Amino acid sequence: MSTDDAGAGADAAGETGGEPAHENALQDVIAVDADDNPEGTVNRLDAHTGEGVRHRAFTCLVFGPEGRLLLGQRAPTKRLWATYWDGTVASHPVEGQTQKQATRQRLEEELGIAPDQYDDLRVTDKFEYRRYFENAGLEHEVCSVLKVTLDDASLDPDEAEIGGLLWAEYDHLHDHPEWYRQLRLCPWFEIAMRRDFD
């Protein structure tokens, strides 16, 4: 595992008038050390504000039957990296949940991809990174990368999670970033893609 680090200021966010400022305040994520060993749970909003707390996360790259990568645009209601493009979904496992279990759940919830549409879900990489997003918060994650190839590319995206979808040639996206400048890519996806081709 390697660390990819960057920093800028981030204002703390939390409660306003005694009420949670965001639905993330109602959820927990798994705090981890640099080797991805669990260190208990932490409030999801706390993990993503102020100085943040290192926690476990994943991103899943979904490929279609013809080998193209499915890019998913984060919904405009997301608190961090809204409308940025991911490859394809990203989230956090909950306590007691494996990365594969969490990924299967998010694929179904966000894109309507059922487990019978694939049979090769696999973990291919893991890295630590830290990135701030404007003054809204940050990600400090030990992020596992999973990949899956769909036998059936039928999709039923949840608009609360997915703002748009785009199939792209993965090699072309990596080799010609200047052709895709209109797509603002999520930092964890950019790191995963760069490491994939290193």
The residues annotated as belonging to the active site are: 141
The CA–CA distances, whole Å, from 150 to 34, 58, 93, 107, 135 equal 32, 19, 22, 11, 37
What sign does the CA torsion over 125, 68, 81, 102 have? negative
The CA–CA distances, whole Å, from 74 to 29, 119, 125, 157, 198 equal 20, 25, 22, 11, 26
* Amino acid, single-letter form, for residue 95: E
* Nearest CA-CA partner of 146 in 80, 79, 91: 91
Going by their DSSP bridges, the two strands 122-133 and 137-149 should be labelled as antiparallel
Under a CB-based contact definition with an 8 Å cutoff, are residues 110 and 132 in contact? Answer: no
Using omega within 30 degrees of 0 as the cis cutoff, is the peptide bond preceding 88 cis? yes
